Structure 1
């Protein structure tokens, strides 16, 4: 995001936002708001009632998403939702969490396993399933974020993995909603940032049995709503890589049964690794 001279921002008019069903009021300077996308530039400077009133009503935008957008307009980054802390299991009470997950194992029900011999000196040949996981891990690695910095979210500033008692449902969903919001208004930098943050979180997320439905909630959001295809692609490929664990969830079964597009996508990704 190119910088704007401070005097231009400071001398521009405040632009008011009435956000969510409760119409909570927020303010961003007009020049800063208009700079985020061509859509917003027209909204601020065009021949619309909002342009004249310097006010827009965004009833369908939730407050958390808007606050992240507000942060992004001022800093080029945003802070994602913190986990909801639940009760620790007995094993967690005495143990540190494991390191980030290694490549997902082969989904035995479909693919079998490839075991390395102990006396082998060359590296073990990766299974097709592990190759698929590596492809997912590298999926967003080529994105050039320029001046964008890490949001310091789940793994931006912490080296440890997540705990099983930490609910990341809202964390996943916020990244997804921000991406949908950014795509709707053509905020390309925020689109890249939010999708990269979601992808990075999924790569490093330890998918405990207790946390499976956190991911299922994200999948549900992507198939119950009209969301941009790049978001669905990230979530679908992750789901295929973690299918063995996700299949433990009855809620996931219901999603696969209810949404033919999800079933078709997962089946196609499964066939690719046969």
Structure 2
């Protein structure tokens, strides 16, 4: 975010945001919004209809998300949304009468998928162990001598080489 003086913030005009399906209205200082990104700067100060109207409609942004955006724009930080997790799934069981409507619901607890890495894989390796593990996984494909022969011909001496001599 660009550095703004408090005076510049207070002197900038307000920009109206109509947010979400409920069309909640929010107002922010235009210079605060404009300095967040190039796209927002164009929205606020560009040739778009929204810039002329000083208003934008964002139906796909919910009001809680917009509040977090404005909190970040003004303070440089925001309070994250509460974490939402699903611990179980409710599944309907067919009724004994043969109808397709569930007669009772049962709850099955979802099991966590096993991790790709076991607890022993989470311990940090020192440089020597890491290099040994790398060499075991990727054995040398070329010897040091071969690697030297693949070195570039340019010795960076500054001499000009005529490319046409090499017969392109």
Q: TM-score, normalised by structure 1?
A: 0.32
- Which one has a larger percent strand, Structure 1 or Structure 2? 2
- SS of the equivalent of 1:28 reads strand
Q: Which has the higher contact order (CA 8 A, sep 6+)?
A: 1
TM-fit CA distance, 1:58:
0.3
| Equivalent in the alignment of 1:49 | 49
How far apart in 2 are the matches of 1:10 and 1:19? 23
4+ long deviations beyond 3 Å = none
Matched, 1:246 2:74: no
- SS of the equivalent of 1:61 reads coil
Which structure would you say has the larger Rg? 2
Q: 5+ residue gaps in structure 2?
A: 90-109, 122-168
- SS of the equivalent of 1:81 reads coil
Over the aligned positions, Cα root-mean-square deviation in angstroms equals 2.9
- SS of the equivalent of 1:60 reads coil
Give aligned pairs, total.
Answer: 98
| Equivalent in the alignment of 1:15 | 15
- Which one has a larger percent helix, Structure 1 or Structure 2? 1
- SS of the equivalent of 1:246 reads coil
Cα deviation per residue 1:228-263 (whole Å; 9 max; x = unaligned)?
xxxxxxxxxxxxxxxx95149xxxxxxxxxxxxxxx
Q: TM-score, normalised by structure 2?
A: 0.51
- SS of the equivalent of 1:47 reads coil
How far apart in 2 are the matches of 1:31 and 1:247? 47
The 5 A counterparts of 1:129-144 are: none
| Equivalent in the alignment of 2:30 | 30
TM-fit CA distance, 1:5:
1.0
